[in-house]
Amino acid sequence: MPEITIDQFEQLMESELPFAQTMGLKVDHISEDLVQMRAVYNKDFLRPGGTVSGPVMMGLADAAMFLAVMAKIGPVSLAVTTQLSINFLRKPEPGDVFAVARLLKLGKRLAVGDVAIYSASHSSDEMVAHVTATYSIPPR
Amino acid sequence: MPEITIDQFEQLMESELPFAQTMGLKVDHISEDLVQMRAVYNKDFLRPGGTVSGPVMMGLADAAMFLAVMAKIGPVSLAVTTQLSINFLRKPEPGDVFAVARLLKLGKRLAVGDVAIYSASHSSDEMVAHVTATYSIPPR
Amino acid sequence: MPEITIDQFEQLMESELPFAQTMGLKVDHISEDLVQMRAVYNKDFLRPGGTVSGPVMMGLADAAMFLAVMAKIGPVSLAVTTQLSINFLRKPEPGDVFAVARLLKLGKRLAVGDVAIYSASHSSDEMVAHVTATYSIPPR
Amino acid sequence: MPEITIDQFEQLMESELPFAQTMGLKVDHISEDLVQMRAVYNKDFLRPGGTVSGPVMMGLADAAMFLAVMAKIGPVSLAVTTQLSINFLRKPEPGDVFAVARLLKLGKRLAVGDVAIYSASHSSDEMVAHVTATYSIPPR
């Protein structure tokens, strides 16, 4: 069983992550091993070339990793990102983008995971971006 | 002489980078070798712990690298980020954050640079985040 | 069908990648979509704590990505790594380490992939390191 | 004053980092804020195109960061790299390569730094590679 529910995480985003609302972030699915979130498209996402801007995908990935950590250890809002690396692979056309995140390691002090980002405008075997991220976890 | 002016870049952000306005991005300084941008603080920047959220710093760094590329090759809006990696070093307190970007290499097809991010709330020798990024440049 | 065979790649390593021999690199498997290589253990791999040193895992990952590119486009020895990022997740005990590499994107100019590194001393669902890498491909 | 001497670190490499000897690593300079190491050229460094192979530069950078950490906190051999990211910028011609490393942050649990890699075959304002790395520090 995941240690946080969709309602709990969406309330936490509402009260504590203002950018999540600007970006229209929603939770699609939570399990202990895999979570999926979505950025609901709006025209502020665009950048030159008619594609979704990088910061939207980075914000979505960061939130999805945060959720993946909480799915394992419960709502610990003081976990913080220490490192995030993103490769932009394909230009998503205007539309929702979604992120599938999983942890590669959950240690005492650090959690490391990766996030696959897809677009409603591409077939499901074509990632539009790939992220790895590290979270620092407060002592439990 | 840099190949783009502050006015030109701020107009380009206004017409083509909607997130730059959401984040309050401004240009402080452009030279051929170094550029400085700023994210003017607003309360939507906050995240748990009373610190500036990661996506704001990632968006600022991405825009500053974009500007550093244009300072060298002129306004080429189709240059795109292919990779961005950020280390979060210290938690900035509420306030403006600024980014100093330079290119480490400008090749025919790729530009690589790094960005030092500082906060008005820290002394000037303490970075709050460090970024490296790669841009793909269209054929000239 | 992959565009290179195990024999072809091992000959190429022998003639052109001296460090591959120092590290005891071998190819286990090549398919068009996934390749697996191995670093055969020797005591020069050790570092403090009795674990396999990072440079061995980085060299193995770099070679495995090189092979994954060649499995798709054939033996193009002038493809060069432009970026490599590694997360060390668990300390492998002395023994062989192996790398499973796949491409996330093969473009005209860049190939991006990830590599999962495992150890003979850990169960197969525990990566010891995770790598993403970018290769620049010469014009075809 | 740095917390480790050239002799102490070279002895530590000799007893505990076998790959450092394979790669011909030497310390040029240690201060509290900046360290410089060198990989003395030998023909095993080569890769296709007559350039120094990536793993040599990654191993050199990893050792230089290890030294930068020890210059601040003393000889703590159980500090381990958790993340390393490298951008390859220019192809060094055959010859020594050297690494200048500094810490961007030294926290209780993590140290983050960057490393500039130069080549004897390039002018001193042209990096051949740029690295950022994170070390996990044992409790003191």
Q: What is the pLDDT of residue A87?
A: 98
What is the predicted pLDDT for the residue at A48? 67
pLDDT at position B81: 93
Q: At residue A16, does pLDDT exceed 90?
A: no
Task: Decide if pLDDT at A71 tops 80.
Answer: yes
Label residue B32 by pLDDT band (50, 70, 90): very high
The string of pLDDT tens digits covering residues C5-27 is: 999 999 988 888 888 888 899 99
* Domain presence at residue C109: yes
User: What per-residue confidence (pLDDT) applies to D47?
Assistant: 73
Query: Which CATH number is C57's domain given?
Result: 3.10.129.10
> Does C46 have pLDDT greater than 80?
no
Chain B interface, best mutation among C80, C81, C82, by max B CB count within 10 A? C82
For residue B55, the enclosing domain spans 6-136
CA atoms within 13 A on the CB side of C110: 21
Report yes or no: B96 and B39 within 8 Å, Cβ to Cβ.
yes
Interface contact A18-B43, CB threshold 8 A: yes
Indicate whether A2 pLDDT > 90.
yes
Residue B85 to residue C85, Cβ atoms within 8 A: yes
Residue C126 C-alpha from the chain's centroid: 17
Question: Which residues on B lie below 8 Å from D132 (Cβ)?
Answer: 85, 87, 130, 132
Asked if residues D89 and B134 have their Cβ atoms less than 8 Å apart, the reply is: no
Residue of A85, A89, A127 with shortest CB distance to C85: A85
What gap in Å lies between CA B127 and CA B119, rounded to an integer?
8
Mutate to test the interface with A, among B58, B90, B134 (most CBs of A within 10 A): B58
Kindly state whether residue A17 falls inside one of the protein's structural domains.
Answer: yes
Nearest-CA distance from C137 to chain D in Å?
14
Q: What is the mean pLDDT of residues C96-120?
A: 96
In a domain, C18, yes or no: yes
* Nearest-CA distance A132 → chain D (Å): 11
Closest D-chain CA to A132: D83
C119 Cβ contact list (under 8 Å, min separation 6): C52, C90, C92, C93, C95, C96, C97, C98, C128
User: Which chains, if any, share at least 3 CB pairs under 8 A with chain B?
Assistant: A, C, D
* pLDDT greater than 70 at residue C72: yes
Rounded to whole angstroms, the Cα distance separating C52 from D19 reads 10
Query: Is 0.90 exceeded by the ipTM?
Result: yes
Residue C132 belongs to a domain: yes
Percentage of chain C beyond pLDDT 70 is 98
How close does chain B come to A134, measured CA to CA in Å?
Answer: 9
Indicate whether B62 belongs to any domain: yes
Distance from CA of D111 to the nearest CA of A (A): 11
Looking at residues A50-60, what average pLDDT do you find?
A: 90
Contacts of D88 in chain C (CB under 8 A): 80-84
Mean pLDDT, 10 residues at a time, over chain D (140 residues)?
94 86 93 96 79 92 96 85 97 94 95 96 88 90
Of residues A109, A134, A136, nearest to D83 (C-beta):
A134
Chain A residue with Cα closest to D138: A109
Within a domain: residue A92? yes
Could you tell me if residue B1 is inside a domain?
no
Determine, for residues C136 and B110 on separate chains, whether the beta-carbon distance falls below 8 Å.
Answer: yes
Closest chain C residue by Cα to residue B134: C83
**Is A1 part of a structural domain of the chain?**
no
Q: Write out chain D residues lying below 8 Å of B90, CB-based.
A: 105
What is the pLDDT, as a whole number, of residue A77? 64
Total number of domains in chain C: 1
Calculate mean pLDDT across residues B20-49: 90
Pairing of strands C35-39, C80-88: unpaired
The residues of C whose Cβ lies within 8 A of any Cβ of A are: 85, 87, 89-90, 104-105, 112, 114, 127, 130, 132, 134
Subunit contact B84:A59, Cβ cutoff 8 A: no
Residues of D in contact with B85 (CB under 8 A): 85, 132
| Closest residue to A85, CB basis, from D85, D109, D136 | D85
Per-residue confidence (pLDDT) for residue D6, from 0 to 100:
96
Is the pLDDT confidence value at B15 over 90? no
Q: What pTM was estimated for this model as a whole? A: 0.95
In angstroms, rounded to a whole number, what is the distance separating the alpha carbons of residues D55 and D45?
9
Chain A and chain B share a number of CB contacts under 8 A equal to 100
